[in-house]
Structure 1
Amino acid sequence: MTAPSPFLALPGAVDVADVGVPAHYGNPLAEQRALVEGGAIVDLSDRAVLSITGPDRLSWLNSLTSQSLLGLQPGESSETLLLDVTGRVEHAVRLIEDGSTLWLLVDRPEAAGLLAWLDSMRFMLRVELADHTDALATIGTLGEPPLPIAAPNGVPLVWHDPWHAVAPGGHQYARGEHPGADWSWSERVVPRDALPSIVARVESGELTAAGTLAADALRIAAWRPRFATEVDERTIPHELDWLRTAVHLTKGCYRGQETVAKVHNLGHPPRRLVMLHLDGSEGAHPARGAEVTLDGRVVGTVTSSALHYELGPIALAIVKRGTDATATLTVDADGTPVAAAQEVVVPPEAGAEAHVPHLPRLGAVTRTPRPQG
C-alpha cells in the first residue's frame, strides 16, 4: 500500500469514494472549467504503474491483446484490451513505449490480477514484469502543465489518450460529429516522492488542482468509456464503441478475436452505450448501477453520472440494443424517477459491417425465364 496522497491535505479536498485521492475541492463545476482551460491537474495517484521489459515485450503483448502494438515507437501511446475467450473485456490497459520499456497504466484494483495473468503467459519469452506503483504516480490533465515527468530511459512518460480520433485499424459506430474530437486528455507519470512539491505549487497558486469528479464529468460528455465504470462481466468492446481506439480489426489472432470479428462483421452487439441528458428539476442524482426503464420495463443501467458545467446532469448508460433510440427513458435516482433523453453513441444497427448478401434458402427453386417465340 502507498501512503495517502498529499493532495488530500489541500484546502477543501474531499475523498468521496474513499479511494485515496480528492474527488473535489469544494467546487466541481469550477474545477471542470479549470480543466477545460488547460491548466488544471487531477491527482490520479491511486492508480497503478506497471512495466514490461525485454526484447519480446511488444510482440508478446500484441499476441495477447486487442490492439496492434508491433510498430509502437518511443514516446508513442496506445490502449489495448485483454479479452476472455468469449470476447468479454477483462482488462483495459493504457500503454506508453519508451524504447526500452513498455509502461502500463491501470486502475489499482486491476493491477494484481493483470500481473498474475501476464506472468502465467510468459513461457520462454524474453519479458520481465514489474510493479512501480510505490515509486511512480499519475497526474491527469487536459493541458500542458509543467510537471516533473518521469523519464527512466530518457523518454518522458506521458500517455496521450487516443480517443480524439479513430485509431488505425479501428472502427467507429457513433455517427456524425463526435464529442471526443476535442478530447485532449493525458496522464503524466511523475515520481511519487515529487507529489508533495507539486502540492506546494498548487498551494502557492502556480498550479490549479481539480478533482476526479470534474474529470469524470468531462469524460462522460466525450462519450469516453472507462474500465472501472462502463465495464461489467458481460461487456464486449463493440457495446462501448471501443473498437474506435482499443481494437485493431485486421492485426491477427488474439484471445477473444473470433467474437470481435463475428459481432462486427455478421452480428450486432447485444447492448449499446448511450449518453443520457437527465431532467434536473427533481434535484436527484442517479448512482452507478441505477436502473434505466422504458414504459416500466428495465432496459439498462447507468454506468457513470455527473453534473456537467454546461450540459447539466448527464450520464452514460448501457441499454439493450433494441431499445427505441428516440424514446425518453426513466432513470431511478434512489427511488425518484428521472426523465432521461437519449443521445445515441452506439446505434441499434451497429455491427454487420461485412454486408454479406442474402443467399437463397436451401431448396428454393430458381426459375429461368423460358425463351419467347
Structure 2
Amino acid sequence: MDAVSALAAPSPVLAVPGAVAAPPGSPDESVPWHYGDPLGEQRAATERVAIVDRSHRFVLSVTGAERLSWLHTITSQHITELGDGRSAENLDLDLNGRVLHHFVLTELDSTVWIDTEADRGPGLLDFLTKMVFWADAQPRAAADHAVLSLIGPRAHTLIGALGIDRLPDTYEALAIPAGGFLRRMPWPSPDSFDLILPRDQLMSRWSELTAAGAEPAGSWAYEALRVAAVRPRIGLDTDERTIPHEVNWIGGPDEHGAVHLDKGCYRGQETVARVHNLGKPPRRLVLLHLDGSADERPAPGEPITAGGRAVGVLGTTIDHYELGPIALALVKRSVPADTQLTVGSTAAAIDPDSLVTDDAPQAGRRAVERLRGR
C-alpha cells in the first residue's frame, strides 16, 4: 500500500469499542474523533494519561550522509548540528516567505524522520525530492510507520510497556526496543509525547498501552488542547498568505519555534528577515472565546467582523472541557484585545493572554532612524 492509500484508509483503531469517527470532510475522519466522552477524554489527557490515534500523519524518512546539511539549506530551521536523538520543528516557505509546509523532524540512528499533515505530505515529499540535486540525501515515504500520541502527567507509568527506563526531554527521542521511537513535544501540553512506530504494530501497541493505563482519547481532545495552547495547524489556522511571524513560529528548537533567525540562506528568508528587522506582521494568531448559546459553531474559514468590518478569519473551532467553545483566528494586528467581534451570528472575544507582545523597536528600524539623525 502506498503512503496516500495508507493514510486515506480508516484506522484499525476505529474498530475499538466506543470509537466514533469524525464527521465526513474532517481532516481527522480516518481516526477516532472520540470514544463517547470527548470532554472527559480531555480531562484524562490533562490530569492522567491519554492515548490518541494520529496514524493519519504522513511519515517520511531521509537517509544519506548529507541529510542534515542538505535539509538545513532548504528549510527554515537550524539543524546542521542536530544531534542523534534530537528533534525540531521546521517550515518550507515559498519565495515570498509564505508557509507551505510545517513538519516535525527527528534525527535518529543515521535517519531523519519527518511527520506532517496527511494532505501536505505528498507535496512536501515532492519538494524534497526535487531539491536533492547532487546531495547525498534520499527522501522517501514511510507509509509503513504511524504516529500515536501520549498526553498527560502520568505518562511515566507507561515506560515499562514501552521498554524504556525514562521519558525523553523536550524534543528528545528515545528508541523503542521493539521498533520506532518516543519523542517529547512541548505542546499541546508539557506532558506530550509522539510515538512513531511500525504501522503493523499499531494495534498491538494500542492494546499494550491501554492495558498499562493509557485512556483512549480522540482527535477532539487533542485538538482542544492544541487550540487552548494557541498552537496553529497548517491548513486550518493558516492560509495561502500566512507568514511565520503571524502564527508564532519564529525561534529555534530551544524556543520551541520553527524558524531560526541566525542561519544561512533558504527560500523565503528575505521576508522573514525583513519583517523581523524592519516591520511587523499584518496579522496575528489569537485565541477566541465564542458565545456558547448558539445552536451551531461557526466553521473554519468564516470571516470575523468588528462593527461590520472584516478584521480576520476563523481557524479551528472546538469545545474545551473547561474553557467552553474556543477557536484560533488570524486577526489584523490593529485590532485591540477588547474589541467586540462577531463570526456570523456568534459573538467572540479575544483572550488577552494569547496575544504575543511585539512592540519593541527592531534593530533594523533603529538603524534606519539613526541614519536619519533621529
Same fold (TM over 0.5): yes
2:141 pairs with one of 131, 142, 155 = 131
The answer for the alignment partner of 1:243 in structure 2 is: 250
Residues 50 and 103, structure 1, Cα contact 8 Å, conserved in 2: yes
% identical equivalent positions:
45
Which 4+ runs in 1 deviate beyond 3 A? 145-156, 198-207, 344-352, 357-362
User: What is the rounded CA distance, in whole Å, between the counterparts of 1:286 and 1:30 in structure 2?
Assistant: 23
The answer for the alignment partner of 1:119 in structure 2 is: 129
Name whichever of 220-229 and 349-358 sits farther off: 349-358
Residues 162 and 176, structure 2, Cα contact 8 Å, conserved in 1: no
Matched, 1:230 2:240: no
User: Counterpart of 1:309 in structure 2: which amino acid?
Assistant: Y
Measured after TM superposition, the shift of residue 10 of structure 1 is 1.7
Instruction: Provide Cα deviations, 1:119-146, integer angstroms capped at 9, x if missing partner.
Output: 111111101111112x111001224345
2:183 pairs with one of 159, 182, 188 = 159
Matched, 1:73 2:97: no
User: What is the rounded CA distance, in whole Å, between the counterparts of 1:153 and 1:51 in structure 2?
Assistant: 19
Note the 1:1-373 alignment, pairs <5 A: 1-2=5-6, 3-18=9-24, 19-133=29-143, 135-143=144-152, 144=155, 145-146=158-159, 151=175, 157-162=181-186, 183-201=190-208, 206-244=213-251, 245-332=257-344, 336-343=345-352, 345-347=354-356, 349=358, 352-354=361-363, 355-357=365-367, 359=369
Q: Number of matched residues?
A: 343
Q: Give the RMSD, CA atoms, in angstroms.
A: 2.7
Instruction: Provide Cα deviations, 1:170-227, integer angstroms capped at 9, x if missing partner.
Output: xxxxxxxxxx7x5332211122111222344477684311000101101111111121
Residues 291 and 347, structure 2, Cα contact 8 Å, conserved in 1: yes
Cα–Cα, structure 1 residues 69 and 341, in superposed 2: closer, same or farther, change >3 Å? closer
Measured after TM superposition, the shift of residue 348 of structure 1 is 7.5
Instruction: Provide Cα deviations, 1:47-98, integer angstroms capped at 9, x if missing partner.
Output: 1110000110000000011110011111111110000111000111101110
Cα–Cα, structure 1 residues 312 and 289, in superposed 2: closer, same or farther, change >3 Å? same
User: What is the rounded CA distance, in whole Å, between the counterparts of 1:137 and 1:30 in structure 2?
Assistant: 25
Cα–Cα, structure 1 residues 203 and 62, in superposed 2: closer, same or farther, change >3 Å? closer
Name whichever of 137-146 and 206-215 sits farther off: 137-146
SS at match of 1:67: coil
Cα–Cα, structure 1 residues 205 and 118, in superposed 2: closer, same or farther, change >3 Å? closer
Q: Which runs of 5+ in 1 are unaligned?
A: 164-179, 367-373
User: Counterpart of 2:245 in structure 1: which amino acid?
Assistant: H
User: Counterpart of 1:160 in structure 2: which amino acid?
Assistant: R
User: What is the rounded CA distance, in whole Å, between the counterparts of 2:313 and 2:117 in structure 1?
Assistant: 22
User: Counterpart of 1:343 in structure 2: which amino acid?
Assistant: P
Residues 268 and 351, structure 1, Cα contact 8 Å, conserved in 2: no
Greater radius of gyration (CA): 1
SS at match of 1:95: strand
Name whichever of 202-211 and 278-287 sits farther off: 202-211
The answer for the alignment partner of 1:177 in structure 2 is: none
Measured after TM superposition, the shift of residue 154 of structure 1 is 9.4
